[in-house]
């Protein structure tokens, strides 16, 4: 039997040295050590040899096999290591990726600011449901059915099948709507709590209206309610002026309290502010002293307690503060808008 063990060894070792990828090396390993390799053939043919020849050749072949296996494994290990370090190597001269951070929506920002100011004046922040019943949104606020004031709030009424799963949560399930203002939370809060207290209620409200630069079908309000003994319009004036001074910071600010009408307050007022020297008068808030009928509805004795309430539009304040010309921008999802905040 003629063969050259050295030749096999040499060509295998050359191949091992040459190959630079772990995958290719596996292929070559099969070629030299696999079932059809020359070495395996030789080992297989040992059985046809005489005993002496077998004794002489057998150990040599086995030894070569082991040696090649060791070389393959070592090379494979080295290659794997160098390949992984290759992948992790960082080219510090390459341009980096720009890191972009998100932005807080201007309305969230304004809401947070307003909450902080009122918290600093010892108010609590509470929230109420966006799906309301007719009783809390209207009747209990002294706006009974057929009251002309209902026209102040163009309402999204909910269809019966849309409201089934809300039923359990809401008192008067026959007629549900998307709340047209945050005032119903005055009722909900007073039903469960006793005066004295002072709260604000930020939240989303809905109006069935055509949209334009100053109207949206959904927007945000912050309701305020302070009830106790001997509360007066003077208390209201102090709290509101204090709030706006803090909200607009260092700017000079003037106030005007105009008589107005809302069914749930008596007297009702509207608050206008004027910023800076050349500013225009801007209406920023509806308010008033809580109506006796509202106290009646929640079981308070109107002879014992008094209080004031107010409601302001979050978008309107944000528009004034940041000089935003169109309310629809808030909900446009336009990144060029959001990125400015």
- Complete DSSP assignment for 245-271: HHHHTTS-EEEEEEEE--TTEEEEEEE
Rounded to the nearest whole angstrom, what is the least distance from the CB of residue 181 to ligand DAH in the complex? 3
**Nearer residue to ligand DAH within complex by CB, 193 or 251:** 193
Q: Which of 15, 222, 265, 287 is catalytic?
A: 265
Q: Which stretch binds ligand DAH (CB under 6 A): 34-42, 110-118, 309-317, 321-329?
A: 309-317
**Among 287, 294, 314, 319, interactor with ligand DAH by CB under 6 A:** 287
Token look-up 């295998």 returns 12
336 is catalytic: no
160 is catalytic: no
**Among 71, 183, 198, 306, interactor with ligand DAH by CB under 6 A:** 183
**Nearer residue to ligand DAH within complex by CB, 75 or 316:** 316
Q: What is the rounded distance in angstroms from the CA atom of residue 154 to the CA atom of residue 142?
A: 17
Q: What is the rounded distance in angstroms from the CA atom of residue 276 to the CA atom of residue 236?
A: 23
Q: What is the rounded distance in angstroms from the CA atom of residue 272 to the CA atom of residue 316?
A: 12
Token look-up 């929640």 returns 298
Q: Which stretch binds ligand DAH (CB under 6 A): 17-25, 80-88, 193-201, 305-313?
A: 305-313
For residue 178, the surrounding DSSP H or E stretch is: strand 176-178
Rounded to the nearest whole angstrom, what is the least distance from the CB of residue 121 to ligand DAH in the complex? 17
Q: Which of 136, 186, 201, 221 is catalytic?
A: 221
CB 49 within 8 A of CB 57: yes
265 is catalytic: yes
Binding to ligand DAH by residue 311, rule CB under 6 A?
yes
**Among 111, 132, 216, 223, interactor with ligand DAH by CB under 6 A:** 223
For residue 117, the surrounding DSSP H or E stretch is: helix 106-120
Q: Which stretch binds ligand DAH (CB under 6 A): 23-31, 77-85, 284-292, 317-325?
A: 284-292
Q: Which stretch binds ligand DAH (CB under 6 A): 35-43, 169-177, 239-247, 303-311?
A: 303-311
Task: Determine how many CB atoms are found less than 10 A away from the CB of residue 201.
Answer: 23
**Nearer residue to ligand DAH within complex by CB, 32 or 138:** 138
**Nearer residue to ligand DAH within complex by CB, 38 or 115:** 115
Rounded to the nearest whole angstrom, what is the least distance from the CB of residue 288 to ligand DAH in the complex? 5
Site residue total, ligand DAH (CB under 6 A): 11
Task: Give the burial class of 161: count Cβ atoms within 10 A of its Cβ; 0-12 exposed, 13-18 middle, 19 or more buried.
Answer: exposed
CB 192 within 8 A of CB 140: no
Binding to ligand DAH by residue 128, rule CB under 6 A?
no
| Beta-ladder partners of 203 | 221
Report strand pairing: 124-125 vs 197-206.
Answer: parallel
The first and second tokens of residue 227, run together, are 């009830």
Phi, psi torsion values for 87, nearest 5 degrees: -65, -35
Binding to ligand DAH by residue 265, rule CB under 6 A?
yes
Catalytically annotated residues: 153, 181, 207, 221, 265, 309
Query: Which residues lie near ligand DAH (CB under 6 A)?
Result: 181, 183, 223, 262, 265, 286-288, 309-311
């Amino acid at each position: 039997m003629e063969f050259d063990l050295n030749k096999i060894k040499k060509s295998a070792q050359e191949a091992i040295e040459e190959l630079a990828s772990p995958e290719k090396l596996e292929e070559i390993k099969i070629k030299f050590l696999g079932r059809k390799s020359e070495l395996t053939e030789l080992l297989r043919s040992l059985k046809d040899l005489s005993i002496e020849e077998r004794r002489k050749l057998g150990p040599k072949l086995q030894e070569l096999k082991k040696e090649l296996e060791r070389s393959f494994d070592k090379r494979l290990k080295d290659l794997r290591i160098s390949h992984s370090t290759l992948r992790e190597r960082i080219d510090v001269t390459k341009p980096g990726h720009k890191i972009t951070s998100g932005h807080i929506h201007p309305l969230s920002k304004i809401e947070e600011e307003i909450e902080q100011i009122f918290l600093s004046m010892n108010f609590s922040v509470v929230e109420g449901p966006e799906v309301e019943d007719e009783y809390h949104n209207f009747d209990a606020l002294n706006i009974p059915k057929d009251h002309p004031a209902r026209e102040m709030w163009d309402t999204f009424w909910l269809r019966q099948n849309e409201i089934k799963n809300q039923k359990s949560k809401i008192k008067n399930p026959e007629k549900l709507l998307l709340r047209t203002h945050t005032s119903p939370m005055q009722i909900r809060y007073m039903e469960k709590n006793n005066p004295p207290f002072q709260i604000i209620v930020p939240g989303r409200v809905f109006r069935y209206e055509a949209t334009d630069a100053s109207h949206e079908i959904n927007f945000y309000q912050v309701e305020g309610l302070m009830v106790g003994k001997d509360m007066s319009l003077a208390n209201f004036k102090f709290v509101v002026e204090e709030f706006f001074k803090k909200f607009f910071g260092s700017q000079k600010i003037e106030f005007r309290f105009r008589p107005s009408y809302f069914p749930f307050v008596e007297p009702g007022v509207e608050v206008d502010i004027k910023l800076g020297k050349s500013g225009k008068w801007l209406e920023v808030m509806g308010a008033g002293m809580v109506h006796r009928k509202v106290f009646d509805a929640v079981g308070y004795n109107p002879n014992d307690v008094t209080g004031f309430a107010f409601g302001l539009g979050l978008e309107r304040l944000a528009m004034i503060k940041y000089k935003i010309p169109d309310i629809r921008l808030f909900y446009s999802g336009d990144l060029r808008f959001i990125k400015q905040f």
